[in-house]
Amino acid sequence: MTRSGLNRLGMLLLPWALAGNLNAAQPQIRSRPSMDHNATASMQTAAAKHAVERYFQAADSGSAEAVRNAFLPNGRVEGVLGGKIVSWTAAEFAERNFRGSPPANVEAIRRTIEWLDVSGPGAVARVRVNIGANAVYWDYFILFNVSGEWKIGLKAFANPEQK
pLDDT at 51 over 80: yes
Q: For residue 99, tell me if it sits in a domain.
A: yes
Q: For residue 62, tell me if it sits in a domain.
A: yes
pLDDT of residue 16: 39
pLDDT of residue 160: 66
Amino acid identity, residue 34?
Answer: S
Number of domains in the chain: 1
Length of the chain: 163
Q: Alpha-carbon distance 162 to 160, whole Å?
A: 6
Which residue range(s) make up the domain with 63? 35-162
Predicted TM-score of the model (pTM): 0.73
CATH number of residue 72's parent domain: 3.10.450.50
Q: For residue 30, tell me if it sits in a domain.
A: no
Summarize pLDDT for 118-151 with one digit per residue, the tens.
999 999 999 999 998 888 989 999 999 999 999 9
Q: Alpha-carbon distance 156 to 142, whole Å?
A: 8
34/53: higher pLDDT? 53
pLDDT at 19 over 70: no
133/37: higher pLDDT? 133
Q: What is the DSSP string of the chain?
A: --HHHHHHHHHHHHHHHHTTGGGGGSPPP-PPPPHHHHHHHHHHHHHHHHHHHHHHHHHHHT-HHHHHHHEEEEEEEEEEETTEEEEEEHHHHHHHH--SS--TTGGGEEEEEEEEEEETTEEEEEEEEEETTTEEEEEEEEEEEETTEEEEEEEEEEEEEE-
pLDDT of residue 37: 60
Q: Which of 71-80, 103-112, 124-133, 152-161 has the lowest mean pLDDT?
A: 152-161
Q: For residue 100, tell me if it sits in a domain.
A: yes
Would you say 117 and 45 are in contact if contact means Cβ atoms under 8 Å apart?
Answer: no
Half-sphere exposure of 130 (CA within 13 A, CB side): 10
pLDDT of residue 159: 72
pLDDT of residue 33: 52
